[in-house]
Amino acid sequence: MAFFSGLLGNAGDYDRDQAAAEFARLLGPGEAVEQAFKLIRDVILLTSRRIILVDKQGLTGRKTEYLSIPYRSITRFSVESAGHLDLDAELKIWVSGAAEPIQRTFNAKVDVYALQAIIAAKIP
Protein backbone atom coordinates (compact mmCIF):
# COMPACT_ATOMS: atom_id res chain seq x y z
CA MET A 1 0.00 0.00 0.00
CA ALA A 2 2.88 2.39 0.71
CA PHE A 3 4.15 2.01 -2.86
CA PHE A 4 0.67 2.67 -4.27
CA SER A 5 0.37 5.72 -2.01
CA GLY A 6 3.73 6.95 -3.30
CA LEU A 7 2.60 6.57 -6.89
CA LEU A 8 -0.39 8.75 -6.07
CA GLY A 9 2.02 11.45 -4.85
CA ASN A 10 1.50 11.00 -1.10
CA ALA A 11 4.51 11.23 1.18
CA GLY A 12 4.79 8.99 4.23
CA ASP A 13 6.90 8.99 7.38
CA TYR A 14 10.66 8.55 6.93
CA ASP A 15 13.00 7.51 9.73
CA ARG A 16 14.47 10.68 11.23
CA ASP A 17 17.89 9.15 11.99
CA GLN A 18 18.20 7.66 8.53
CA ALA A 19 17.25 11.01 6.96
CA ALA A 20 19.77 12.85 9.15
CA ALA A 21 22.53 10.44 8.09
CA GLU A 22 21.60 10.60 4.40
CA PHE A 23 21.42 14.41 4.28
CA ALA A 24 24.09 15.29 6.85
CA ARG A 25 25.94 17.41 4.26
CA LEU A 26 22.93 19.74 4.03
CA LEU A 27 22.69 20.39 7.75
CA GLY A 28 24.44 23.30 9.41
CA PRO A 29 26.31 23.14 12.73
CA GLY A 30 23.89 22.26 15.51
CA GLU A 31 20.99 21.74 13.07
CA ALA A 32 18.95 18.58 13.68
CA VAL A 33 16.27 16.75 11.70
CA GLU A 34 13.09 16.82 13.77
CA GLN A 35 10.76 15.07 11.32
CA ALA A 36 11.13 13.57 7.84
CA PHE A 37 8.85 12.32 5.09
CA LYS A 38 9.60 10.38 1.91
CA LEU A 39 7.80 10.20 -1.41
CA ILE A 40 9.45 7.51 -3.56
CA ARG A 41 12.69 9.48 -4.25
CA ASP A 42 11.77 12.91 -2.89
CA VAL A 43 12.21 13.85 0.77
CA ILE A 44 10.82 16.54 3.07
CA LEU A 45 12.95 17.41 6.10
CA LEU A 46 11.77 19.55 8.99
CA THR A 47 14.89 20.62 10.84
CA SER A 48 15.47 22.79 13.86
CA ARG A 49 16.02 25.79 11.53
CA ARG A 50 14.20 25.23 8.24
CA ILE A 51 12.23 23.00 5.92
CA ILE A 52 14.28 21.28 3.22
CA LEU A 53 12.50 19.91 0.14
CA VAL A 54 14.63 17.38 -1.74
CA ASP A 55 13.52 16.85 -5.35
CA LYS A 56 15.37 14.14 -7.29
CA GLN A 57 14.97 14.70 -11.01
CA GLY A 58 15.35 12.64 -14.15
CA LEU A 59 15.34 8.89 -14.64
CA THR A 60 18.49 8.25 -12.64
CA GLY A 61 17.86 10.79 -9.88
CA ARG A 62 21.43 12.10 -10.14
CA LYS A 63 20.22 15.66 -10.58
CA THR A 64 18.74 16.88 -7.31
CA GLU A 65 17.20 20.17 -6.24
CA TYR A 66 17.39 21.18 -2.57
CA LEU A 67 14.90 23.90 -1.64
CA SER A 68 15.55 25.44 1.76
CA ILE A 69 12.74 27.37 3.44
CA PRO A 70 13.80 29.14 6.64
CA TYR A 71 10.95 29.19 9.16
CA ARG A 72 11.26 32.99 9.40
CA SER A 73 10.24 33.35 5.72
CA ILE A 74 6.96 31.46 6.17
CA THR A 75 4.12 33.97 6.22
CA ARG A 76 1.33 31.43 6.74
CA PHE A 77 0.57 27.74 6.32
CA SER A 78 -2.35 25.36 6.30
CA VAL A 79 -2.84 21.66 6.86
CA GLU A 80 -5.75 19.57 5.70
CA SER A 81 -6.34 16.22 7.33
CA ALA A 82 -7.34 13.09 5.44
CA GLY A 83 -11.01 12.21 5.30
CA HIS A 84 -13.08 9.12 4.64
CA LEU A 85 -13.11 9.47 0.86
CA ASP A 86 -10.17 11.86 0.49
CA LEU A 87 -7.32 9.64 1.69
CA ASP A 88 -4.53 12.19 1.59
CA ALA A 89 -3.52 15.07 3.84
CA GLU A 90 -2.08 18.32 2.54
CA LEU A 91 0.36 20.96 3.68
CA LYS A 92 0.48 24.39 2.06
CA ILE A 93 3.21 26.90 2.91
CA TRP A 94 3.21 30.51 1.79
CA VAL A 95 6.66 32.08 1.66
CA SER A 96 7.28 35.84 1.65
CA GLY A 97 7.79 37.12 -1.87
CA ALA A 98 5.86 34.26 -3.54
CA ALA A 99 2.21 34.52 -4.55
CA GLU A 100 1.51 30.78 -4.76
CA PRO A 101 1.97 28.35 -1.87
CA ILE A 102 4.35 25.41 -1.85
CA GLN A 103 2.14 22.36 -1.56
CA ARG A 104 2.89 18.79 -0.53
CA THR A 105 0.55 15.82 -0.10
CA PHE A 106 0.89 13.12 2.57
CA ASN A 107 -0.73 9.75 3.08
CA ALA A 108 -3.35 9.27 5.79
CA LYS A 109 -0.81 7.73 8.21
CA VAL A 110 1.03 11.05 8.62
CA ASP A 111 -0.03 12.96 11.73
CA VAL A 112 -0.65 16.38 10.20
CA TYR A 113 -1.42 17.80 13.64
CA ALA A 114 2.11 16.98 14.81
CA LEU A 115 3.45 18.37 11.54
CA GLN A 116 1.66 21.68 11.97
CA ALA A 117 2.68 21.86 15.63
CA ILE A 118 6.36 21.71 14.65
CA ILE A 119 5.94 24.43 12.04
CA ALA A 120 3.83 26.61 14.36
CA ALA A 121 6.45 26.37 17.10
CA LYS A 122 9.20 27.48 14.70
CA ILE A 123 7.51 30.47 13.10
CA PRO A 124 8.59 33.69 14.83
Whole-number pLDDT of residue 95: 95
pTM, full prediction: 0.82
The maximal CA–CA distance of the chain, rounded, in angstroms, is 43
Alpha carbons within 13 angstroms on the beta-carbon side of residue 48 total: 7
Q: What is the pLDDT of residues 80-96, one digit of tens each?
A: 887 766 668 888 999 99
Residue 91 identity (one-letter amino acid): L
Q: What is the pLDDT of residues 1-21, one digit of tens each?
A: 444 444 445 667 889 999 999
Residue 96 identity (one-letter amino acid): S
